Amino acid sequence: MKLKTNILLLLLTLWLVPAKAHDYLGSLTLSDSARVCLVTCGPGNDFYTTFGHTAIRVTDPAINLDKVYNYGTFNFNIPHFYLTFARGKLDYCLSRTEFAYFLMEYQYEGRSVYQQQLQLSPEEVNRIFRSLEDNYLEENRYYKYDFFRDNCATRVRDIIINNLDGKAAYTETTSDTNLTYRELLHRHTGNNLMWWQLGIDLLLGQRCDRPLSSFEYMFLPDDLMAQTDTATLGLTREPLADAPQMLLAETRTPPTASFPPTLAFWFLFVVAASLTVIEWGRNAKADSSDAKVKRINFTWFDAILFSLASLISLVLIFMWFGTDHYCTKANWNLLWANPLFIYMLARLRRPSRVTAGLLAVVLLLTAIGFQLLPQRLNPALLPVVLTLFIRTLNKLRKHPRP
C-alpha cells in the first residue's frame, strides 16, 4: 500500500509540473484519425470529490498522442492557501498529463471513469486541441474558480461549444419546475453525507434557490455527461457524441450512512426544553416560598449554545461580505444565527430584556415561517431555532435575587 501511495504521489507531482515553452503542442496539426473525448469521473470518498470530475482527452494514434486536459488542479504551496481558498480567491489552473497516468489515479481511488467520443470534424478536433494548448500556456492557464459558474465541467463544455462550426449542440430550457443549485447538490449528498449537506445548506444563501436552466445544470459532471449523450448538432440532428463508454468500474466502498442531524438536534431541543422546565419550576418555587430554596440557572448551557450561534453568525457574515463566492450572499440563516447572540453572550447573566425580546420574536417568526422564506433552510435547523427560542425566552424571566 505504501508503494502504491508513493507511486501515486510521484505521478501527481509529474502532473503538476509547470509548463515550459517547449511543451507547447498547439503548433501541431493532428491527423484525421485524431479524436476528442469527454471524460467523466465518478465520486470519491473525500468530500471534495463527492460531485465527480470532468476532463477532456485528445488522442492521435498517428503521432502517439494521448493527453488529458484537466481544469480542476491548483497549487497547495501558495501563501495563505486556506484563507485564499475560503475567500474564493484561489486560482485554479489547467493541467495536462498522459491519459494513462490520469486513469491510474482514479483506478487507485476506486472511482468510475466514462468516456464519450465527440463526433467532430478534423477541423473542429484541431481547433479544440489548439484552444486547450493555448489555455495551457503559463499566462493563460489560471482562472478564478467558481463551483457553480466556472469549474472543471463548465470549462470543458465551453471549449467544446466555442469550437464547433457554428452548430448548436446543447439546448437550453428554462422552467419553474427546474431544479435549483441546492436541489442538484442534494442529489449527491444523501443519507451518507447528511452532515455535509447541512454544512452546505448553512453556507449557501438565497442565490442557490432559483430554478436553473438546463444549460446551468452542467456545472455537475454527471449532468454534462447526460446532456452530451442526448445533444445533437445543428439542423442535421446528428448526435454530438457516442454513448458513454465505461473505462473503469467503481470499486470504492461508499461511506456508510451517518446519524441524521435532524434526530440529533431534536434531541438537543428535548434537553433544552427539559432544562428550561426544571429551571422555571425551581425558580418559581424559590420566589414564592419562604423556605430557603435556591434558584437555579443553567448559564453554562446558554454559554455553549449562544457561543455556537455567535460563531456561525460570524462565519456567515464573513462568507457574505468577505469572500467572492457567488452563492454565499444573502444568507437567511442569519435570522436564527443572529449577530445579536454575540451581545447575549457578552451579557449572559443580565442581558437587556429589549434585546432578548427582539431576538425571541425573530426566532419565533423564523420557526413559524420556516418553509416560507425565499431561501430553503435545512430541515435539521428547525429544532435548533426552537432551542434558541426557548433559551432566549428564558432570559426574559426575572433575574436572580442579589
Q: Provide block-wise average pLDDT over 10 residues at a time, the chain (402 residues).
A: 44 44 78 96 87 96 96 77 75 92 94 96 95 94 90 95 84 85 90 89 95 94 95 85 96 86 96 93 73 78 96 96 91 96 88 90 96 95 97 78 44
Between CA 34 and CA 67 the distance in angstroms is 11
In this structure, are residues 160 and 127 in contact, taking their beta carbons and an 8 Å threshold? no
- Shared-domain flag, residues 228 and 275: no
Would you say residue 178 lies in a domain?
A: no
Between CA 340 and CA 360 the distance in angstroms is 11
In this structure, are residues 316 and 267 in contact, taking their beta carbons and an 8 Å threshold? no
The reported pLDDT for the residue numbered 290 is 58
Between CA 60 and CA 72 the distance in angstroms is 24
- Shared-domain flag, residues 228 and 320: no
The reported pLDDT for the residue numbered 6 is 44
The reported pLDDT for the residue numbered 399 is 54
Q: In what order do the strands lie in the sheet with 91-98?
A: 142-144, 91-98, 65-74, 53-60, 35-41, 113-117, 245-248
- Shared-domain flag, residues 322 and 378: yes
Q: What is the DSSP string of 123-150?
A: HHHHHHHHHHHHHHSTTTSEEE-BTTTB
- Shared-domain flag, residues 232 and 294: no
- Shared-domain flag, residues 108 and 150: yes
- Shared-domain flag, residues 228 and 296: no
pTM tops 0.75, yes or no: yes
- Shared-domain flag, residues 278 and 226: no
- Shared-domain flag, residues 243 and 275: no
Distance of CA 260 to the CA centre of its chain: 19
- Shared-domain flag, residues 241 and 265: no
Would you say residue 179 lies in a domain?
A: no
**Helix 261-288 vs helix 299-321: crossing angle, to nearest 10:** 130
CA–CA distance from 328 to each of 23, 49, 149, 320, 324 (Å)? 39, 20, 13, 5, 9
Domain boundary among 223, 248, 273: 248
In this structure, are residues 132 and 56 in contact, taking their beta carbons and an 8 Å threshold? yes
The number of folded domains in the chain is: 2
The reported pLDDT for the residue numbered 282 is 80
Residue 165's contacts (CB-CB under 8 Å, 6 or more residues apart) are 121, 123, 124
- Shared-domain flag, residues 267 and 244: no
Would you say residue 158 lies in a domain?
A: yes
| Structural domain of 330 | 261-394
The reported pLDDT for the residue numbered 289 is 65
**Helix 353-368 vs helix 382-394: crossing angle, to nearest 10:** 150
In sequence order, what E strands does 63-212 have?
65-74, 91-98, 113-117, 142-144
H or E stretch covering 152: helix 152-162
